Amino acid sequence: MADVDDRRHPSMERSAPSLRHVRQEDMSMLRSKVVLMRLFRSQLAVNRRIRGGLFALAMTAVAVFAAPTPSLASGDLYFVGCEGSYASCQTGVRVSLAEGVCTGASASYGATIVCVDYNGDYVYVKDNDADGRSAMARIDSERGVAYRYCRNTHGAGSWARCNFDWSEAGEKKVNAGILQNYATMPLDYLWRFSNN
């Protein structure tokens, strides 16, 4: 009978890995999976932080843009031109008489009368039309605040005074009219002055 060799052939040893070799491959694969899972979880955490930050930014923007401008703070829709920092808008206090240089607008503009007292930077507005609309004055300035609005809400026959503080330098234009609605204010140019 022929001798039987109990040893394995070298090619068989290579094709059938040892148990230790399999465990090392499994451990390496397991480590890779753990690393990938940690990376995935950290990526999720980063995404959550980014989403949270974007949400906070969006809420801040809503809060900022939803806050009323000073002219709207009392719930009053004054005029669309008052929404920017380039304008100063006041509702005048009721007074019995006006002072300063005065001129009136035509009937198309509510026959509004505007007076400017150069010494105190006061603007007076008289409502001469019982149409239920506010009489308006606008002072245009080439320096500082571009537009200063003075509104008389006290009714026909009344005077209102606004107190503006403007630079004496530069030219100013005086306009008068009526506030028809939030977006419409026809104005009549009255006169200009400078160094006052």
Residue 18: predicted pLDDT: 52
Give the model's pLDDT for residue 71: 42
Task: Give 24's pLDDT tier (boundaries 50, 70, 90).
Answer: low
Residues in CB range of 57: below 8 A, 6 or more apart: none
Instruction: Please tell me the predicted confidence (pLDDT) of residue 17.
Output: 52
Instruction: Please state the rounded mean pLDDT for residues 17-24.
Output: 56
User: Which residue, chain included where needed, has tokens 């009489």?
Assistant: 135
Q: What does pTM read for this prediction? A: 0.62
Q: Could you read off the pLDDT of 91-146 as tens digits, one per residue? A: 999 999 999 999 999 999 999 999 999 988 999 999 999 999 999 999 999 888 99
Output the pLDDT for position 46: 62
> How many angstroms separate the CA atoms of 130 and 144, rounded?
34
Return the higher-pLDDT residue of 37 and 127.
127
CB 102 within 8 Å of CB 114: yes
pLDDT of residue 63: 47
For 159, other C-beta atoms within 10 Å of its C-beta total 20
Strands (E), 49-155: 87-91, 93-95, 101-104, 113-117, 122-126, 134-141, 147-152
pLDDT in tens, 38-95: 766 666 666 666 766 666 665 555 444 444 444 444 456 789 988 888 999 999 999 9
Q: Single out the residue of 167, 175, 171, 159 nearest to residue 126, CA to CA.
A: 159
Beta bridge partner(s), residue 95: 159
pLDDT for the residue numbered 56: 63
pLDDT at res. 75: 53
Between strands 187-194 and 134-141, the pairing is: unpaired
